[in-house]
Amino acid sequence: MRTASAIFFLFLLFACGTNDSADKTADAANAPINEGPAEVNVYSHRHYDIDQQLFKEFESETGIKVNVVNASADELIVRLETEGTESPADLLLTSDAGRLVRAHKKGLMQAVESEVLMKSVPEKFRANDNAWFGLTKRARVLVYHPDRVDSSELSTYKALADDTWNGRVLARSSSNIYMQSLLAAIIANSDYETALEWATDVRNNLARDPKGNDRDQVKAIAAGEGDVAIVNTYYIGKMVNSENQIEKDAGEMVKVFFPNQAGRGTHINISGGGVTKNAPNKENAIKLLEFLTRKDIQQRFADGNYEYPVNPEAQPSALLKSWGEFKEDDLPLEQLGLLNAKAVEAYGEANWN
């Protein structure tokens, strides 16, 4: 009897041990996988110091690590296409609504739901389906040399086609997205033929063949090569505050004029961002967008990079305020991307290099 009892007792111990092991195995299988530290992967065409500062603040505030890949907009779009569903990118940041629309049309971004973004970003500065959102605004204005041009001579973009400006206008190449979006806005606000006529006549009024970036147009005015140029406002802010004396002098020499104030208003564009189609950290990407459009952070963008905030509760920097308030074109910026191909076609017909 004692032997039989001992054997039975050992059997019970073995059975219990087996059940415990099975339970532990099941618990391990059902336990959440350790996904590592929270992060968000950003593909950014923006290359400004203020962006890096704000990413660091986001990390400190949320504990979410921001990993950034910087490259040109075209390179980043091609990279997203190539990587497909295996892309590590969560957020695409770039400049110009035309590029954002292009990326969206390629199926590289996804619509998101966020009451914070709905409140912070006015409707005209975001995609119809909320696949991308504006972060900052830039006005495409006229700058001029006050010794050679009186502000009373300036009025609209269209007026640059008048004979009085022959040999006096400076502008970038038609391959530049900012110029394409400006012409797309003209098409949207009128029609293709009007835009083609404008491009043809302004091309004939150029002081030199289109070349260089916006800073180069301002420096060309300072050098006496032309009298008026089409540029984005934030470039003037960057030049006035540049450590390069030549750029600083050129920026301080010109004056800013906001066209079309008696009509539709000055052409506006944005830099912005959207959550990528296959974002592995979608929620973190949304959190970063919400952070970047917050009132206090928008103020930092404005003061640090001389861009206008998209959040209506934030204020422009002191420099931008010194240029005065102005009427903006209310055109939904999605139109700039949808009409991009037509703008490129018109520049081609106008023989604008």
CATH code of residue 218 = 3.40.190.10
Q: Same domain for 164 and 251?
A: yes
- Tell me if 43 sits within 8 A of 92, measured CB to CB: yes
Burial (CB count <10 Å: 0-12, 13-18, 19+), residue 230: buried
pLDDT tens profile 68-110: 999 999 999 999 999 999 999 999 999 999 999 999 999 999 9
Rg for the chain, CA atoms, rounded:
28
- In the chain, the N- to C-terminal Cα span, in Å, equals 105
**What are the respective helix, strand and coil percentages of the chain, to the nearest 5?**
50, 15, 35
Q: Say yes or no to pLDDT of 18 above 80.
A: no
Query: Considering the chain, what percentage of its residues have pLDDT values greater than 90?
Result: 88
Q: Same domain for 260 and 179?
A: yes
pTM above 0.85, yes or no: yes
**Average pLDDT, integer, range 16-26:** 43
What is the pLDDT, as a whole number, of residue 2? 44
What is the pLDDT, as a whole number, of residue 37? 74
Q: Is residue 91 part of a domain?
A: yes
Q: Same domain for 221 and 124?
A: no
Angstrom distance (rounded) from CA 140 to CA 117 = 25
Q: Is residue 243 part of a domain?
A: yes
Q: Same domain for 248 and 305?
A: no
Q: Say yes or no to pLDDT of 25 above 70.
A: no
Angstrom distance (rounded) from CA 200 to CA 196 = 6
Q: Say yes or no to pLDDT of 323 above 80.
A: yes
- Residue 41 phi, psi (nearest 5): -105, 120
Sign of CA dihedral 44, 47, 49, 50: negative
Reported confidence tier of residue 36, pLDDT bands at 50, 70, 90: low
Q: Same domain for 130 and 149?
A: no
Angstrom distance (rounded) from CA 221 to CA 36 = 54
From 26-40, 191-205, 221-235, the region with the lowest mean pLDDT: 26-40
Q: Say yes or no to pLDDT of 14 above 70.
A: no
What is the pLDDT, as a whole number, of residue 34? 38
- The closest alpha carbon to 128, from 292, 314, 341, 338, belongs to 338
Q: Same domain for 230 and 289?
A: no
Q: Is 323 helix (H, G, I), strand (E, B) or coil?
A: coil
CB-side neighbour CA atoms (13 Å) of 158? 14
- Tell me if 137 sits within 8 A of 126, measured CB to CB: no
Q: Is residue 7 part of a domain?
A: no
Do strands 169-170 and 91-95 pair parallel, antiparallel, or not at all (unpaired)?
Answer: unpaired
Q: Is residue 114 part of a domain?
A: yes
Mean pLDDT across the chain, nearest whole number?
91
- Tell me if 228 sits within 8 A of 142, measured CB to CB: yes
Q: Same domain for 107 and 233?
A: no
Structure tokens at 306: 């001389």
pLDDT tens profile 332-344: 999 999 999 999 9
What is the tally of structural domains in the chain?
2
Q: Same domain for 132 and 148?
A: no
Q: Same domain for 223 and 182?
A: yes
**Average pLDDT, integer, range 110-125:** 96
**Average pLDDT, integer, range 138-157:** 97
Which domain, by its residues, includes 343? 138-267+336-349
Q: Same domain for 96 and 227?
A: no
- The closest alpha carbon to 323, from 249, 232, 248, 246, belongs to 232
